[in-house]
Amino acid sequence: MRLKSNDPCWCGSGNKHKRCHGDRQALSYPPVHLGGVSAPRPVPDVIVRPDYVATGTVSTSRSPQVQDAESLVRLRRACSVAAEVLIRTGELVAVGTTTDELDAVAHSIYVELGAYPSDLHYQGYTKSICTSVNGVICHGIPDDRPLEDGDIVNIDVTAYIDGMHGDTSATFHAGTPRAAVAGLVDTTREATLRGIAAIRPFEPLQRIAEAIEPFAESRGYAVIREYGGHGIGATFHADPHVSHHIDRSDDHIVVPGMTFTVEPMLTSGRPTFHQAADGWTEHADDNRPSAQFEHTVLVTDAGAEILTVTADGATAVGTLDSISARR
């Protein structure tokens, strides 16, 4: 059941939720206006592109992506690259920095690591990452708007290398975090990891939603229903659709070797939104902030393994060890 405004806040402060992490004034942001968008950045010819860059069409299978030993090695590399791009780009989020500058940094890191930015020229998208600020739910296009003190921005990274896509995202604070917004961000991170921890082979995919949605609602947040995770590997977006809200009609069963993303989007307001004139940016109708985290995961014989970590285990999103420590 979703926490109500007059209920005691989930944080244990003893204050009503509306006077604490549900403080509407603290969660009130002006609409994010679209800024100027620069031209697509070039990628050296030596870097291999996904098929859709040249043809506009995805020719790889949309069937669930199940890896064998050889393909998993390649997917691990793509996921490691994505994790590094996200960490290094996220470190530069600051007041006064534009999301286009973040895109430039991410683009240069992709190229440095020999990877192609999967977003670039995917279905007409012209940037190398997605940057969703404050009340933007997802698919924000990097532009020339400087980040302001108290803003949050989700950076969504997908790297293509060795014939595989690795996908990860995290939400970062610019300047001094507002306590109410930090609660949203921390809850979204934890919800993501709880969803991953719930995965079990030969059990319903819905175990993920069953771990995420009640937890989010217990803290007063809503789960965006229209967007979810997806199968990933040789294909950027494949089946199954990974719902983060409970849907009893979803009868997918997960099996060892399957790879997909877990990426809940939580909002501090109503879970309704509209698309901007650019055809990509999804704005919350009430402009209340939204957060998202994402990992690419592998179903194992015992549960799930997070793949979007660097070679030394670093990640901007978090690990299952961190969620276990909270329980």
Question: Is residue 234 situated within a structural domain?
Answer: yes
Question: Is residue 106 situated within a structural domain?
Answer: yes
Neighbouring C-beta atoms of residue 17, cutoff 10 Å: 21
Alpha carbon 250 to chain centroid, angstroms: 22
Q: What is the pLDDT of residue 1?
A: 79
Question: Is residue 13 situated within a structural domain?
Answer: no
Q: What is the pLDDT of residue 324?
A: 57
Residues 299 and 26: their CA atoms lie apart, in Å, by 39
Is the peptide bond prior to 240 cis by the omega test (within 30 degrees of 0)? Answer: yes
Q: If residue 138 lies in a helix (H) or strand (E), which one and from where to where?
A: strand 136-138
Residue 223 structural domain: 61-326
Residues 177 and 175: their CA atoms lie apart, in Å, by 6
Q: Render each residue's pLDDT in the chain as its tens digit; 327 residues.
A: 789 999 999 999 999 999 999 999 989 999 999 999 999 999 999 999 999 999 999 999 999 999 999 999 999 999 999 999 999 999 999 999 999 999 999 999 999 999 999 999 999 999 999 999 999 999 999 999 999 999 999 999 999 999 999 999 999 999 999 999 999 999 999 999 999 999 999 999 999 999 999 999 999 999 999 999 999 999 999 999 999 999 999 999 999 999 999 999 999 999 999 999 999 999 999 999 999 999 999 999 999 999 999 999 999 999 998 775 555
Question: Is residue 25 situated within a structural domain?
Answer: no
Question: Is residue 130 situated within a structural domain?
Answer: yes
Question: Is residue 22 situated within a structural domain?
Answer: no
Kindly report the CATH number assigned to the domain that includes residue 111. 3.90.230.10
Q: How close are the terminal C-alpha atoms of the chain, in Å?
A: 20
How many domains, in total, are found in the chain? 1
Give the angle subtended at the CA of 248 by the CAs of 242 and 249, to the nearest 5°. 75
Neighbouring C-beta atoms of residue 23, cutoff 10 Å: 21
Question: Is residue 49 situated within a structural domain?
Answer: no
Residues 236 and 149: their CA atoms lie apart, in Å, by 34
Alpha carbon 270 to chain centroid, angstroms: 19
Q: What is the pLDDT of residue 322?
A: 77
Question: Is residue 256 situated within a structural domain?
Answer: yes
Q: What is the pLDDT of residue 309?
A: 98
Residues 65 and 84: their CA atoms lie apart, in Å, by 23
